[in-house]
Each structure stands twice: as C-alpha cells, then as structure tokens.
Chain A
Amino acid sequence: MTLSVHIRHRFGTFDLDVAFDAGPGITALFGQSGAGKTTIINAVAGLFAPDAGHVTLNGHPLFDSTAKAFVVPAARRFGYVFQDARLFPHLNVRENLTFGTRYAPASAKGASLDDVTDLLGLSALLNRMPATLSGGEKQRAAIGRALLAKPQMLLMDEPLASLDGPRKQEILPYLERLRDGPLGLPILYVSHAVDEIARLADTLVLLKDGRVQAHGPLYDVMADPAAVPLLGVREAGAVIEAEVLTHATDGLTQLRSSGGDLHLPGVQAQPGTKVRLRVLAQDVMLSVNKPEGLSAVNVMPVIIQDVHQGDGPGAAIALRAGDDRLLARVTRRAVAELGLTTGMRCYAILKATSVAPGSIGR
C-alpha cells in the first residue's frame, strides 16, 4: 500500500510544491500552520484539484494533471477524519458510524460495527446525538465513521488539535491501537504537535513554506540535527525504543534501551512491553569524563556522530548510544571548550524527569 504524492499548487502568495511517498503505518505531515499540510491532505482526498502533479495509490492515478485524470472524493475510498469531527447533527452516533458502509464495495475488507465500537469505546454512545457528545467522544465517533466506510487509507487532519490535554490523552491510545491493530490501515496524519508525531508516526515528512524539508523514518528524522530548527529548539529531540523491565517501589521504572538502562518516573506500561521515549535535545547534557556525584540517574556512554552549528549560539550534537540515536543541544562555546568533534566518546546525562508521560508510547 503506497500513496505517492507530487503536487504543485499556487493560491495568492502561497506556493506549494511537494513530493513524498506514504507507505504502511502512520506517515505524519508535520509543519507550522501555513506550511501547506491541510492543502496537501485535501488534495489527496480530492476535495480540490491542484494546479499540477499527480496523486497515485498503489500505482492507480487518483489525480494526474497531464493525463487530465481526477477521481471524485466519493470514489477514492479514503477515510477522512477532520479536525472538527463533522458528525452529521441530525443522525445519532450509530447512524453516523454506519453512514458510509453501504457505499464500500462488497469485496472491501474492513472492520465491523462491533469491532469499531469496541476499539474506540463507543458502545455506550450509539444512541446519543452528536450535540450531546464531548469533543473527545465526537472525535472518536468521527474516526469510527471513517473506519466503517472500509477505506484503503485513513487521512487525519489534526484530529487532536481541537481537544484539551486530558482529551488528547484519551484519544492517543486508540490511535496507537489503530496503528498496531489487526486492521493495519495506513494513515496519513497531519499535525503541528511534535509530541503527537513522536508518539504515533512511523514516517515523518517535515514541511515548511510549502516545501518538504526532510522525509524519512521517524527515528532518523527526529535524530537529525538539521531538523532541530524545523521542529523548534524546545521541541526537538530524538526518539528511542526501550523495553520496560521493572517498576521500582520508589516510583521509577527501569527500562532497557540498546545504549543502556534508564530509570524514569511515570511509566505505566507493563514489564516486557516496548515503549517509545522522546528525549528532548535541550534536556541532554554532555560530559567528556564519566560523571560522578551527580543527582541525575541516567548516564549513557555515547559517540558523537555529528556536530551541527547554526547561526545562533546553540549547536545540535548527534549521538549514538548502542543502536539508538540521541540528540543534544549545547552552546557553541561548550563545543569549543570541550573540543566536541565527530567520533569522540563521551557521556550523555539525561535528567529522569526529562521524559514527559505523554512522550511514552507503545
């Protein structure tokens, strides 16, 4: 299942020219507002025809400006989850959920109503009207409605952006289940929240001013020092995978990554499960000697892979810890004084509290 997108579009002063592929799993389109994310997803859905380019799914053209091909949205079979849910106000939740089922071809594979209500926790809401639902419940119903149209791929346009923190935490596990579950549905996911994509995405497309700036597997792009300004210096940070070992009585959990063990608070996952940890670059310190007498409990031996200096006072350091990669943000002065260079061995110090609970996924 591969979606191939190459579109050019101009309206007013905004100029969009992007090309990327989205395969299995979750492909996240990340960028600040105005980067062109929604324009791209709407072009994929067929809600408008771009000036030029093509959109193909498994080689079938959905849009091709040279061949004058344009498949209408109803025939594209994408499940679109809008930021504003867009439930039909005159239909109850059950009627909303099943709205698109009858239009799917008989041969289409997909979830049943029971599967979807179980997956999204909707059983108690089936007879309610949309006006009586909370924001999180509306969004869950909208996801279920898109799934029950038996789509070939899900398109999600900032499905969590209109929700507050707790409601986001309520939906995220459902999205993870969707990604990891038996449906195995590919998802194109638009977001401007780094914590969401760090937790959900498999592939990342970084957009800025209508252009693709970086594109690749999530772990690679997040660990790329060049991506720091695109993600924002406060938000940038590598994602590593770790296995939960034990929960200690003092509230810390021992996790094993390929670079060494970590002790972190607030981990809910059961021992044996693999989780993603997002380690903010600004929360990683570097020491050339093995540090002693520190209050920080997480120290990892690392090798410097790249020193990336920009125009500002900061520098982004790419590190390798076992098979995992880390990113540290230090000052240029520290780079000079410590003589940090590629290939150097040193120690990364992670404050245990630096991994926010919401940054732990799967």
Chain B
Amino acid sequence: MTSDAAAWEALRLSLWVACWATVLAVPLALWIAWILARRDFWGKSLLSALVHLPLVLPPVVTGYLLLMGFGRNAPLGRALDSIGITLAFHWSGAVLAAIIMGFPLMVRAMRLAIEAVDPKLEEAAATLGAPRIAIFGRVTLPLIAPGILAGAVMGFAKAMGEFGATITFVANIPGQTQTLPSAIWAALQIPGGENQAIAMVMMASVVAIGAVLISEALARRVAARIAGA
C-alpha cells in the first residue's frame, strides 16, 4: 500500500468509526441525560460518576479495561464471539472505544439542554390534551435539539480523535483498525514519515473544523427561528 493510500484508508476508517459511534451513542446518551436531568433515584450520583469516568481515567486504562472485558478470552468477549460479534482488534471495537470516550461529553451537553427546558411548557402542553410521547416529540425534543446537535458533534469529534483507548483495545492494524490518529502516530515512528503525518494532520483538522462549522450553522438557524428573525 502506498503511503497516500494508507492515509486515505485511515481517514475512511476514522469517518466510518466516528459515524457509527455517533449514531449509536446519541439515543443512549439522550436517555442517560434525561434520567440524570429529570429523575431522582438511588444511585444517581454513582451513574453520573460512571458516565464521567472515561473523562478522568487515562485513556490507556479505559482501553485496557475494555480489553479485559471484551477480549477474546474474556467472558463477555467470548459470549459475543459465539454470536458472531468480535470487538477486540476489530473496527467495531474502535466504535465501542469511541462511544465510551465520547459519552461523557455527549451526556453533559444534552443534560444541560434538558435542564434548560421550562417544565411549565410541558405542563401547558399537557393541559392542551397532549399525551406524554407527544409532549416530548412536539415540545421538549425541538427545544433541546440544539443541545443534542452540540452533543453529537462533540461525540463525533471525540471519536475522530480518540487514540489511547482505541490503540490499546484494537491495536493499530492498517486497513482494519488503524484510525487517523493511530496512522499519524505510526507515521511519526518511521524516519522521514513527517510529510505523510502532516497530510493526515490536515485531513483531521479539516474534518474537525467542518463538523464544528456545520453544527454552528444549524444552531444559528434554530436560534434565529425562535427569535422570529
């Protein structure tokens, strides 16, 4: 494989992993954020701490814990293996690592958005006859959409840049588990690999800035509509 092809392959894999991680994590993060914002229950602080753990643990520790939990010889990994799902040293493992690492950021953004919704508006919707699911779909969801979007962009960006947990859990196999950050790191290990590294740094920067710009533009449109402009 030429170095150029390897770089594009790393970019493709990173986008693939980041998209899957975002799509899978958003509903789950929204659910957890809802529970943390609106419900009171025993063990709420514990759940909150667990969600935020990947933010404070060294990523390599998170990756190692994943390997211990989902490796081929670990009980959970073996169980998944028997139904045809392999995570360790596979791109789907990179998705899992990206979800876990980005989860605290997503939950935080969504929780803040949910807490900012005035429950009195939901009360008003109830007096107008709307069932709960309709109140969520027609009042709450549109109001927290900017927060969900912000969380999704954060999660996507984190997934694109995740390195420590990914390389520990799924290693650095070109074409299979070598994401953009892993490829940049690999290129920097080879004498004369700087040019290739710089090309990939540019790719990563373009994707990251693009994601932020798109989310900003969408958030502005929502804000402008509410302001009646």
Contact = CB atoms under 8 A, between A and B. Distances in A.
A129 B131 contact: no
Interface size class of B (residues with CB under 8 A): 20 to 34
Chain B interface mostly? helix
A195 B51 CA distance: 56
B139 A88 contact: yes
Interface string A109-129: 000000000000000000011
B93 to A, nearest CB: 40
B146 to A, nearest CB: 10
A74 B135 CA distance: 10
B23 interface: no
Contacts of A155: 127
Contact of A99 (B125, B222, B225): B125
Contact of B130 (A74, A82, A84, A132): A74
Given A89-B143, A90-B143, A131 B130 contact: no
B125 A90 contact: no
Contacts, number: 74
Contacts of A104: 129
A86 B126 contact: no
Contact of A80 (B124, B226, B227): B124
Given A129-B225, A129-B226, A129-B227, A86 B121 contact: yes
A129 B138 CA distance: 16
Given A84-B120, A86-B121, A90-B142, A100 B228 contact: no
A320 interface: no
A211 B61 CA distance: 64
A146 B143 contact: no
Interface in A95-152: 99-100, 103-104, 128-132, 145-146, 149
B72 to A, nearest CB: 49
B209 interface: no
B121 A149 contact: no
A131 B226 CA distance: 7
A344 interface: no
In the complex, the 7 A-B pairs of residues with the closest C-beta atoms, listed nearest first:
A100-B128, A129-B228, A103-B129, A132-B228, A80-B127, A86-B124, A73-B126
Interface of A: 45, 47, 72-80, 82, 84, 86, 88-90, 99-100, 103-104, 128-132, 145-146, 149, 155
5 contacts: A74-B130, A88-B139, A90-B226, A128-B228, A129-B228
